[in-house]
Amino acid sequence: MRTLAWLLLLVLAGCEREVASMYRQPRFDPGDGTPLFADGRAERPPPPGSVPAATGDLAATSSGRRGRTELAARAAAVAASAPPPLTRALLQRGQDRYGAYCVPCHSPVGDGDGPVVRRGFPQPPSYDEPRLRAAPDRHFYDVITQGHGVMPAYGDRVAPQDRWAIVAYIRALQWSRQAPVAQLPPSLRQRLEAQGAR
């Protein structure tokens, strides 16, 4: 039994040595020199035309999340611009992007009863709530960009113009829930009356 314990201890010590080797891999730190490149520097300049994701002292740490982000500045400039004019193409793009990013939680009709909610994820509010009906378009845009509550930020996944398209589609969903029948086109009114007559 004692021999088995010693053998097990030796095996575990060997595993730790292998794990430690993974931590201490050969690498070049910023400012190090190397004969690998003609200029003698280990740190390589960025490729021509590349766009920095972050600048400043902390840009090299934590993937640049704590540095001044250049992309965030650009996104803020785009966000400061006015939303695009409302068109059929914008609404169709918004419906497509809403289906890709929002339906799992918010549901196809925006009532907050998406598939992941039915499996235990916290329920988001319905877009039909008076508070959200009265909210400015910028509120939805900012929530998509930065997240809110348990909703993660989608600013890194959804382009600014697509965020505005989603906002337009959310407004269409809100309008559809309380649309006055008198404001509908005559052909649609006739179809609704025919369905009601059945």
User: Structural domains in the chain?
Assistant: 74-177 (1.10.760.10)
What confidence tens digit (pLDDT) does each residue in 148-169 have?
999 999 988 998 899 999 999 9
Band of pLDDT at residue 198, cut at 50, 70 and 90: very low
At residue 41, φ and ψ (nearest 5 deg) are -100, 140
Q: Is the pLDDT of residue 65 over 60?
A: no
The backbone region for 62, taken as left when phi is positive above 0, alpha when psi lies in -120 to 50, beta otherwise, is left
Q: Is the pLDDT of residue 13 over 80?
A: no
Task: Give the DSSP letter string of 39-69.
Answer: T-BSSPPPPTT---SEESTTTTSGGGTTSEE
Of residues 80 and 175, which shows the higher confidence score? 175
The answer to whether 145 and 164 have CB atoms below 8 angstroms apart is no
Q: Is the pLDDT of residue 132 over 50?
A: yes
Of residues 49 and 61, which shows the higher confidence score? 49
Query: What would the mean pLDDT of 60-75 be, rounded to a whole number?
Result: 60
Q: How many Cβ atoms sit within 10 Å of the Cβ of residue 191?
A: 12
Of residues 176 and 58, which shows the higher confidence score? 176
Q: Is the pLDDT of residue 122 over 90?
A: yes
Q: What is the pTM of this model?
A: 0.59
Strands (E) located in 109-169: none
At residue 48, φ and ψ (nearest 5 deg) are -60, 135
What confidence tens digit (pLDDT) does each residue in 172-184 have?
999 988 877 777 7
What is the pLDDT at residue 26? 80
Q: Which residues pair with 151 in a beta bridge?
A: 148
* Helix, strand, or coil (residue 136): coil
Gap between the Cα atoms of 161 and 85, Å rounded: 11
What integer best gives the mean pLDDT of the chain? Answer: 83
* Helix, strand, or coil (residue 33): strand
Q: Is the pLDDT of residue 1 over 60?
A: yes
Pairing, β 54-55 against β 68-69: antiparallel
Q: Is the pLDDT of residue 75 over 80?
A: no
